[in-house]
Structure 1
C-alpha cells in the first residue's frame, strides 16, 4: 500500500465516452467520477468492455477518431477534456504518461528501442543524445532487461512480448511523471517479472511521489498494489472504496463475481493410443543478434536448444517459462513459421524441409492464435471479414451465405454477439479482440492449434469462459493444443501435460498434476512460488465473501 497526499493530481467528474459506429452510438463510459491523489495508487477493475481503459484514454485525449468525450478530467487545475492537441502534447509524455496494453502496436517497428526511449527525454527535457542514451540504458536495467547496453540497439521484433512491455514501462518513466496510467502493464509478463515490475513501480512511487492509475483485470495485483479501487461494469462505477474493504466485504454482486472467477477443473489426458498430431525431435532455433565484420565475433542466441515434444490428438500440452525462455519460438518452429533444425512431423508426414508452397495446403490444419490480438487483426477489415478470411483461402467454394453462417457460429462459440460482426477491431476491448482471434482460428476446425498467451488480455471471468470454450471445442473436434502461457493457474486448468522451459531448454516436464504438486527443479519451484504468491488472496477473499 502507499501513502496519499491531500493534493489531487487528477479529478474526473461526469466523464462520458461514446463511439459512433455502423450500428449506431455505443456508450462506453457513462458519467463516472474518480479522484487520484499524489503518491497513491488507484486501481480501476472490471471485465473486458467495462470502459476502464476508455475512461483514461478519454482523459489523455487519445480516443479513436469516432470517439467523443464529455465531462471533466482535471489535472492540476486544467481540464484535459477538449484541450487543444498542442497543449495536451506538452503534458502527455512528460507530466502524465501511459503504459499501453499492446506494446507491439505502441513501439515503432522501424526504430531501435533506444531511439524510442530517448525521444521523450529529447523532446520534453532537452537532454543531449548521449545523456538520453545513458539514461535509457539505466532505465532498461531497472525494468529488468538483460544486457541493456546491447538490447538498447535492438528492434522491437527482436524482443519477447514481455521484454517489449518492459520497454514501454521504461519509456513511461523516462521523464519522472506526476501521474502514470498503467493499462494492464503486466499482462505480457511472466509471474516472476510481474513481481519485479510491481516492486519497481512501488519503489519509484515512494521516491518521487508519483500517482498511479492501475487498470487491470488481475485482482491479485490490485489487492497487493492499490490503496483504493473502482469497480466498473458496462461503463459505470458500481463500487469503490478502500481496497481491503472492497475485497473483503464486497457490497455489489458483480464485485463478488469478479472475486470468485477463477479458471478451475482438470484436463483429462487423451487415450494412450491417441494418434500423434504433431511432434518435434531435437528442435533447435538460433538467431544472429550481433557482431560480424567490424563489430566483433558473431553473437548467436540459441532460442530453442535441442527440444523434443510430442503432441497427441485431443491433448493439451502447456508450455511455461519466463519471458525469453523460448516458448513462443518453439510454437512457431513446430508450425514451420520459423527456420529450425531437427525433425518435425505432422499427422505422420515429415514437414521439416517443407517449403512455403508445400506448407500452404496444411495451414488450414495448423493454426496459431497470436499473443498480441490487436496487432494481428487488420484495422481495415470488419470482424466478420477477419473471422472468415481463412475460409476464403482454404474453402473458396463456399457461398457468401455459408461463410456468413460459419462466422455467426464461430462468434457465438467464443461468446461474442454475432450482430457485432460489422464493427472494426478498434471498437472492441483487448479481451474481446482476443476472442475474435480465437474465432478466426477455430472456424477452420484445424487438427492443431498453437495458443500463444490466448488469455493474457482477458479478465479472470472471461478466462474461465475461454478455458471452458476451448475444452468444449477440443472435445467436439479432437483438436490438439499447444498452450503457451505464463499464467500457471490457467495452464493448470487447461493442460494435461506441462513442459517447463528456461533459456531455450526443457528443464522439467510431465503430467500436470505431478508438475504442480511435486515440482522437481528449483526453477519450476520458483515459478510456482511467484505465481501463487500473487494469487493466494483469491481463496481468502472467496471465503470472506461467502461467510466462511
Structure 2
C-alpha cells in the first residue's frame, strides 16, 4: 500500500495560486567547492520556487546538494564554495550581496534552523543571550521584553521549566533540547521564509510530532513559507505541499507531494520511498562472554544560579541503573530527550563524574583514575550524536580518523597511518580518495561515517553509539545498519546503541532499556518491548514511531 498525502486539497489549490508569484525564486543555481581533489559540483543548475505560506520539501540522500542549495540562499557557503545563478526574494536578488546587506534578510525575513545545533550555539554564552540578541537587533525590544519573549518561545517549543532553562549553557541541555532552542531562535522574529534543515533530526519521536504540529500552527499564524530539508519521507508526506527530489546535485523529480508518493516517476524516488531499516540481528550465542557490566550508575549535576551563583540546584540525571552487555550483543537504550540515555553512556565510559561500579572484562574500571583508564580507551569507544561538532575543521578526514593511532600506537609511521585510514574509509563504505578532504566538504551522513571510521580503526571491544544514524537519510540508515551488523559480526563488537529511532533500534538490538527522567522504566528483549510493552510510556514511544509507517506496515 502506498502512502497518501495528508495535505488538504484546498491548501494545494491555494499553493498553486501562490506559485504564480513566488516569494523565493531560485534559477539555474550552481554550487561548487574547490577541494584537494579538484572542483566538486554540489549543485548543478536547479530551479526551485517557494510560494507564500506554502511548505516545500527538498529530499534526497546525503550529498545530494539539498542543504547546500539553502546554504547558498542564506549566503553561508564555506570559504571554498562558490554559487552561480539567481536567488530572488520578493524580486530582490540575494546572490552576490555582501554580508552586511544580507543581514537585512538573514534572521529576520529569512531564517534557518540548522541540522547540527551544537555547532550553531555558542558554548560560552547562556541560552538567554543567544535568544535575546536577535530579538533586540531585529525587533528593537528592550532586554526585559526580549527575555520575556524568549521564555515564551522556549515554552512554545516545549522546553521544560523555560524560565529556569533560559539561564543554562548549551552543554547543559540534551541534543533534542538544543535543537528546540534553535527552532525558537529561528522563529523569534516571525520570518517570512523559514528554512528547516533536518529540524527534528535530534528529537525523539513523540517530541518530533509535537514540533511538527508547532511549526504547522506557527506557519498558519504568521503566514510564513517553510522550506523543509529532510531525509524522513514520513514527515514529508504529512507536512509538505510540494516536494523536490534531488540526487547528485540535480532535481530528478518534483511535484505535488500526494502525487509524488502515489505515482513516483523516477526510480530514485521509488527507492527513497521504499527505504527502511529492516531485518533483525543474529542472536548472541548463550555462552558469549560478558564484556562490560555496570551496577548502580548514578549521575548528579549541580547547577548554580542567581547573580552570585549562590542558588544551587541538584539534578539527578541517572538514577541507579544496572546493565550487562556481552560480546556480540547490542543493548538499545531509548527514551525522550532529557531522559538521561546519553549521560548514562558517557558515565559508563568514565566521561562524566558518576557513582557506581563498572567492570570491563571482569576488572573494576570505575571508580579509578584517568591514568589507569587511558590504555583502556581504545577498547571502549564512543560515536557522538553530532558528527560535525566532534570533527576538527582544521584536520583532513584521514587525519581525524587516525587521531587515536597517535595516542595508542605512536610508533607507527605516517605512511602506515595513511594506509590504515584508507582501509578504515573502505570499511565504512567511503571512497578512500576522499580522505584528504576537510569535514565541511562532506555531507552530514558522510561525516557520521567518518566518525564511525575513527572509532573502528582502533578495533575496540565495546562501542557506545549515541544517535549514530540521526543525521542520515533513510536509505543510508539502512546501509549503516548493515555496516554496523557486519562490523559487529566481524569483530565480535558489543554495542550500547542510544537512539530515539525505534525502527533502527529494533533492527540492531538484542535487549532494550527504556529510560524516562533518569530511570529505567522498562527493559526486555526486542520482541517483548515491541509486542507486549507493560508501561504506557513505552507504548507511547512505539505509537509515535509508527507515525512514519502510515500504511500500517510493521518493522519486521
Same fold judged by TM-score > 0.5? yes
Aligned to 1:375, the other structure's residue is in SS state helix
* 1:294 Cα offset (Å): 6.7
Q: Equivalents in 2 of 1:476, 1:232: separation in Å?
A: 35
With over 3 angstroms needed to count, the CA separation of the structure-2 counterparts of 1:289 and 1:537, relative to structure 1, is: farther
Alpha-carbon distance in structure 2 between the residues aligned to 1:330 and 1:364: 19
Paired position in structure 1 for 2:481: 467
Q: Does 1:111 align with 2:125?
A: yes
1:191 Cα offset (Å): 0.4
The one-character-per-residue Cα deviations of 1:33-63 (angstroms, maximum 9, x if unpaired) are 0100011100000000000000010011110
> How big is each residue's C-alpha offset from its partner over 1:386-434, in whole Å with a ceiling of 9 and x where there is no partner?
1111112111232333222211111111111000010000001111100
2:300 aligned to which of 286, 311, 329: 286
Superposed, which structure 2 residues align to 1:374-385 within 5 Å?
A: 374-385=388-399
Partner in structure 2 of residue 441 of structure 1: 455
Match of 1:145 among 150, 155, 159: 159
Q: Which residue number in structure 1 is paired with residue 3 of structure 2?
A: none
Secondary structure at the aligned position of 1:364 is classed as helix
Shift of residue 539, structure 1, vs aligned partner: 4.6
> How far apart are 1:534 and its partner, in Å?
2.9
Q: Secondary structure of the equivalent of 2:388?
A: coil
Unpaired segments of 5 or more residues in structure 1? 543-548
The whole-number CA distance in structure 1 between the counterparts of 2:498 and 2:346 is 11
What is the CA-CA distance between 1:119 and the residue it aligns to?
Answer: 1.1
Pairing 1:398-477 to 2, within 5 Å after superposition: 398-477=412-491
CA–CA distance in structure 2, aligned partners of residues 156 and 91 of structure 1: 26
TM-score normalised to structure 2 length: 0.95
Instruction: Indicate the residue corresponding to 1:485 in structure 2.
Output: 499
Shift of 1:152: 0.4
Say yes or no: does 1:219 pair with 2:219.
Answer: no
- In 1, the alpha carbon distance for the partners of 2:31 and 2:397 equals 22
Deviations 1:356-397 (A, max 9, x none): 111110000000000000000000000110111111211123
Deviation at 1:538? 8.2
| Matching of residues 298-377 of structure 1 within 5 Å | 298-377=312-391
Contact 2:121–2:170 (8 Å) recurs in 1: yes
Q: 1:293 to 1:423 in 2, by over 3 A?
A: closer
1:192 is aligned to 2:178: no
**C-alpha distance in 2, partners of 1:255/1:303?**
42
What aligned pairs does 1:84-123 form with structure 2 within 5 A after superposition?
84-123=98-137
Structure 2 unmatched runs, 5+ = 1-6
Q: CA deviation at 1:355?
A: 1.0
- 1:240 equivalent to 2:254? Answer yes
- d(CA) in 2 for partners of 1:291, 1:156: 15
Query: TM-score, with normalisation over the residues of structure 1?
Result: 0.97
Tell me if structure 2 keeps the 8 A contact 1:117–1:136. yes
Q: CA deviation at 1:296?
A: 6.7
Query: 1:79: which partner in 2?
Result: 93
In structure 2, C-alpha distance between the alignment counterparts of 1:473 and 1:160, rounded to whole Å: 28
TM-fit CA distance, 1:196: 0.7
The root-mean-square deviation of aligned C-alpha atoms, in Å, is 1.5
> What secondary structure sits across from 1:310 in the alignment?
strand
User: How many pairs were matched up?
Assistant: 541
Q: What is the rounded CA distance, in whole Å, between the counterparts of 1:46 and 1:125 in structure 2? A: 36
Which residue number in structure 1 is paired with residue 82 of structure 2? 68
